Amino acid sequence: MSEILKIADLWGGYKKDVDILQGISLEVQQGEAVGIIGLNGSGKSTLGKAIMNMIPFRRGLITFEGEDITKLSTSQLSHRGLSIMQQGGRVFKTISMWDNLQLALYKQPKETLDRLKEIIPMLQQPQRLLQHNMADKLSGGQKHQLSLAMTLATNPRLVILDEPSAGLSPKAVEEMYTMLQAIRDTFGITIILIEQNIAKAVNFCDRCAIMQTGQLNKLSGNRDIQEIEKIMFNK
């Protein structure tokens, strides 16, 4: 495998003078699923947003496919092949499911929607229902499915999934991870999975790292959930 993303000594946060991320370094290989596990407030989501240049960082280097991307905007990064599904499954609530999809699929070939339909069950509804159903009427699981579809609509080579199971029922969580596995199998996309659900992250990812107060404790290939819990909860 070849390296697709590299983060070196990244410092930053929502305010320029407050560093939530404190010297983060991480390398991700093409086709990998890498888990970032941690408690609320540990900096997991901040890292995902920093990669997409959605928040400022003071110093550090991020490269994607060997190119320095630290000065590129979020929109430019999307065009380069990176995408993020933000926590909560964010969609445009005041328009229909279909209109959400069309915004995300702008200038993408028809085949893109066909591929998404293969792995996201909600999109298999007749188009008239997608046009009729407003996004603000969706259940949590449905909203997450729509958000995932929009995240994948640009045919990214690397996706950041920020807490894709947060707030979902056990059934919806299982459905979400079935879709994520299909994404790996069908699309071959590299995934950075930000997750509090330790068992799901460990079982899905090739390797995981624990985020604690803005720093990563690397656990390459560690599958011992109890050991991870000891580190996370200082048992």
Q: Which residues have C-beta within 8 Å of that of residue 129, sequence separation ≥ 6?
A: none
Contact call for residues 193 and 177 (beta carbons, < 8 A): no
Contact call for residues 157 and 2 (beta carbons, < 8 A): no
Please report, in tens digits, the pLDDT of each residue of the chain (235 residues total). Answer: 699 999 999 998 888 778 899 999 999 999 999 999 988 888 999 999 999 999 888 899 999 999 999 999 999 999 999 999 998 788 998 999 999 999 999 888 888 899 899 999 999 999 999 999 999 999 999 999 999 999 999 999 999 999 999 889 999 999 999 999 998 888 889 999 999 888 999 999 999 999 988 888 766 666 677 777 777 777 5
- Single-letter code of the amino acid located at 152: L
Structural domains in the chain, sorted by start: 3-91+159-233 (3.40.50.300)
The model's pTM is: 0.92
Provide the pLDDT for residue 132: 93
- Single-letter code of the amino acid located at 117: K
Contact call for residues 147 and 90 (beta carbons, < 8 A): yes
Handedness of CA 156, 157, 163, 169 (dihedral sign): positive
